[in-house]
Each structure stands twice: as C-alpha cells, then as structure tokens.
Amino acid sequence: MLLEAEESQLVLVDYQHKLMPSIHEGEQVLANAIRLARVAQMLQVPVWATEENPSGLGGTVESLQQFVAGRVLPKMAFDGSQVLLPRLRPAARPAQGGNARSLPKHLQKAAPPPPATRDTIVLAGCEAHVCLLQTALGLIEEELDVWVVTDACSSRTERNRDAAFDRLAAAGAELVTTEMVAFEWLQDAGHPRFKDVLSIVK
C-alpha cells in the first residue's frame, strides 16, 4: 500500500516556539517538517497544524506559518484528534428532501456528487510520545489511515521518541520518512512537479 496525494492530508503537531529548542535533533526535525509542508503545498495536499496551549508554548514557528495560514487549531488536550476531526472529515451536507409540490424527478437537477474523502492522514510533530502519539491513536480509533513521518518527529529525549514509534507501529500506524512520503505522493518521475519536489527533498 502506497500513499496517494489525492487521498492525503498533512497534519503538523505542535511545532511551537517555546517547545522546539528542547526537542532532540529539533533543527533537523523542523527542516523535514518544512520539506513536507512545501511538497504538500506543491501537490495540493491540505496542510493543518495544531498548537498545544499556545499561551504557554507560543505559536507555530514562523518557518511553517505560511503553509498553515487559516488552518491552525489551538488545543489544550494532548490528543488533538477531537479538534482535527471536524476539519479532516467534515460532516456531509444533508440531502434536500422534496415535498408534494416538488418538480417531477425527471425535471429535478441531479445532486452533486459527494466530495472526495481524504482519509489518509500524514502526521508529524512533537512531542512524539505525548501529543503526536495521542493524536495518532485518536485518529486511528476513528478509522483514519495514519502515517507517521519519523524523521519529522521527536521528543525531548531519544528514548521517549523511540518508545512512541514502537507503540504507534503496534497500533497500526505506518512509519515512513519525509522522502518516502514525497516520492509516494509523486508516484513516478513523469509527474509534472517531479523536478520541483526533487529539489526540495534532495
């Protein structure tokens, strides 16, 4: 099973001003998050961000803000799935019922097809063993397909990060890297944005 850009959404968990300086390999993790966001934007994959207690931990770092403008969701719970779900999987519009005076069926306009769902959630963020883990488990419980980008995730300690990856894999999340995501979204070297994406990930 491979990722498809048309079925994906990217969620960036808690890349915040006051948190990132404490994160193990934080600069590299943030650089990969930026790569993911750039590729997602280029391939028209929606990008969302969460912020844990922004009054205490600050907002999303400046280098990511351009990719998530209008799509930043503040939260206090470590599990961000509840604030994300209404955006990731919006409620279907209710069907409009007719009445006795409605037009005959052959004169009625056909209902527009339902919007395509994007139930594949590509997830990256901090801290891996707290907010990222709990958000991923919440989304899996809601039967979304969760792919965790390991080289764009971390915690304050390597041990906590690795424990999170072990638990996520056992829970059914797919563990991938930034380059795996980019090349799977592209699918082949004939993609019109192949060279642009290549310049980002290389």
The mean pLDDT of 27-31, rounded to a whole number, is 98
Distance of alpha carbon 152 from alpha carbon 167, whole angstroms: 17
The answer on pLDDT for 44 being more than 90 is yes
Domain that holds residue 13: 5-88+116-201
The answer to whether residue 178 is domain-embedded is yes
Q: Residue 110 half-sphere exposure, CB side, CA atoms within 13 Å?
A: 3
Q: What is the pTM of this model?
A: 0.88
Report the number of distinct structural domains present in the chain: 1
Decide: 193 and 39 in contact? Cβ < 8 Å: no
CATH of the domain at 45: 3.40.50.850
Q: How many CB atoms lie within 10 A of CB 106?
A: 5
The answer to whether residue 100 is domain-embedded is no
Mean pLDDT lowest among 86-90, 142-146, 174-178: 86-90
The answer to whether residue 132 is domain-embedded is yes
Q: For residue 90, name the pLDDT band (cuts at 50, 70, 90).
A: confident
pLDDT at position 92 = 60
Please choose, from the candidates 94, 2, 20, 19, the residue with its C-alpha nearest in 3D space to the C-alpha of residue 57. Answer: 19
Q: For residue 122, name the pLDDT band (cuts at 50, 70, 90).
A: very high
pLDDT at position 117 = 80
